[in-house]
Structure 1
């Protein structure tokens, strides 16, 4: 795997443990580091400054996937277990991460109300396993919503409600974790951008589980995610590319969806297609010109993706500066805009 040769460390006090609304006002009150990939210049400002950076004619692409409550607690013949959903396979089966006790093929796991699931074997890669729930479709999703909760990683101290793990524009349930790059946007900001002449369009990419615990991460080239791109988005982006206008992705999930749907240099319509595309510094971007994202840990494949936008050494220098400036990391943290000509 193509990882950074000089990894950095994120100190504990820079892990964002709570939504910004609980710290200082509204969800848009986060910091923003603007990074020019050509010059390496950096500007430290507030997220609201995006209103001055984006220009009329720019296309802002948002992921409208909505986070589902992906952590379920259960018991079984081998003891208590946390069932973390990793990826939906079909209407009654999920790849999952089982935490707390080792379960084997054929074992049953018992949830509330007598509901149970059966372990069917290994998942796409270790340590994921496949479980067959004895409900399916809408009934299964209703159960998950009634008894599940968001996934709380070790840096989260309080059980924040599911609505704090959503963007304001999310509409299609399916993501295991929040598509957090767009979390800071409010409807007011989006409305103002439209009035300015910025075009908004949407894709849907349902995120899979991004961390397996014990310092184990998914293999970037073997991490399937389901995505869709509607015709309206295709037309908007292809027109912009033909006219030399910027296409700005809100999040690495948007980059992955857009770049997965390119055929002969043009974006194509897609409906519920799996992508395994791994984007790193060796990949030549075909659709996306700029990226709004959070700050990523050195082991995460999301950080590899950033190297398709900017030289690795320049990125690492900027990240070290962000650490010195005490930017906050993770889904409730601060933001980074990689765009030319704005620093």
Structure 2
């Protein structure tokens, strides 16, 4: 089966509209579907039972990027005239201390247009970036800019989230470096208790950093072409050393999230050896991509026809993936950042 045919109908009730904690369960008690990437065999558990499926000597690699609020509302002006009293600007990618790529929702912005977000914060549009994104330059930069963003912006939420949730709900427990405009949600189900339990059992933990951009662009018809989706990443030397030791000892390198896969598979040299690296990646991974570093994946459940399904097909045959997703729907697994989890190993 071609990955483009991994299409399925997702019932609305399976869109997780609220965090598990607001549904009366702990974050590490969401459901877990375990998929054997070789045989297609499926098992069902809860995430706090992860230790039953990973082995001593395996390495879990987590994304330490912390979610920032990225949705700003402000007055939109052109040549001094008010174009809209309230326009929504979604930050997509930080370019430098003052400039961002952003999405102006339901607004056709021109170079020179201005936005007033607060008495202390405004921005000017410099023009289009990769359509439909625009480049904006704020009146502040660095820490002063981030202070205003935290004071006035909200976390991005899509139509299946019916009410606003506080920023804390969009964080993993171990996130430490602010920069992601969408939560690296594959790690949300981890609690410190579970991480410590795994470490005591002999599972190793390492970290990378990849700041996620917007995954959904309404004006472009949905998910953007990953080849234009540059994201900033860093894979430190200590993580590379842990990966090499794991490989030498026959353990599995398990990425917690598609962001970690992109970061690790971007950090290889000409001889296909993992190396410490930082920069920007637009690596597009699909069924034809030979994985050099990662051989296991923890992920949430992805929407029909999402580009993430292409990445998952590098781990498991699309037919097996389709069967697993069909079973997950039948058993009432929940989708998206507040939903249930999938281990492919």
Matched residue pairs, number?
336
Task: Tell me if structure 1 keeps the 8 A contact 2:172–2:187.
Answer: yes
Matched residues in 2 for 1:292 and 1:314: separation? 16
Q: Which position in structure 2 is the counterpart of 1:167?
A: 172
The reply to whether residue 266 of structure 1 matches residue 308 of structure 2 is no
Task: Tell me if structure 1 keeps the 8 A contact 2:121–2:148.
Answer: no
Q: Which position in structure 1 is the counterpart of 2:97?
A: 91
Q: Which position in structure 2 is the counterpart of 1:333?
A: 339
Deviations 1:287-335 (A, max 9, x none): 0010000000123221110000001111111111111111100000000
Q: Secondary structure at the match of 1:267?
A: coil
Runs of 4+ in 1 over 2 A off after TM superposition: none
Task: Tell me if structure 2 keeps the 8 A contact 1:246–1:289.
Answer: yes
The reply to whether residue 298 of structure 1 matches residue 304 of structure 2 is yes
Tell me by how many angstroms 1:116 deviates.
1.3
> Which residue of 246, 250, 255 maps to 1:240?
246
The reply to whether residue 307 of structure 1 matches residue 319 of structure 2 is no
Matched residues in 1 for 2:71 and 2:100: separation? 12
Counterparts of 1:91-240 in structure 2, within 5 Å, are 91-123=97-129, 125-213=130-218, 215-240=221-246
Matched residues in 1 for 2:14 and 2:218: separation? 19
Q: Which position in structure 1 is the counterpart of 2:25?
A: 25
Q: Which position in structure 1 is the counterpart of 2:326?
A: 320
Gaps of 5+ in 2: 78-82
Deviations 1:126-151 (A, max 9, x none): 21111111111111111111111100
Counterparts of 1:69-88 in structure 2, within 5 Å, are 69-77=69-77, 78-79=83-84, 80-88=86-94
Deviations 1:195-253 (A, max 9, x none): 10111000000001100125421101221000001111010101111222111110000
**TM-score (norm: length of structure 1):** 0.96
Task: Tell me if structure 2 keeps the 8 A contact 1:31–1:46.
Answer: yes
Task: Tell me if structure 1 keeps the 8 A contact 2:65–2:180.
Answer: yes
Matched residues in 2 for 1:6 and 1:26: separation? 31
Task: Tell me if structure 1 keeps the 8 A contact 2:112–2:124.
Answer: yes
Q: 1:100 to 1:114 in 2, by over 3 A?
A: farther
Task: Tell me if structure 2 keeps the 8 A contact 1:66–1:178.
Answer: yes
**Worse overlay, 211-220 or 233-242:** 211-220
Q: Secondary structure at the match of 1:152?
A: coil
Q: 1:114 to 1:195 in 2, by over 3 A?
A: closer
Matched residues in 2 for 1:76 and 1:265: separation? 49
Matched residues in 1 for 2:306 and 2:99: separation? 26
Q: Which position in structure 1 is the counterpart of 2:80?
A: none
Deviations 1:66-122 (A, max 9, x none): 000011111122102111000111111100011133221111111111521111111
The reply to whether residue 34 of structure 1 matches residue 40 of structure 2 is no
Task: Tell me if structure 1 keeps the 8 A contact 2:92–2:214.
Answer: yes
Matched residues in 1 for 2:131 and 2:76: separation? 21
**Worse overlay, 301-310 or 73-82:** 73-82
Matched residues in 1 for 2:42 and 2:157: separation? 32
Task: Tell me if structure 2 keeps the 8 A contact 1:4–1:312.
Answer: no
Task: Tell me if structure 1 keeps the 8 A contact 2:35–2:41.
Answer: yes
Q: Secondary structure at the match of 1:61?
A: strand
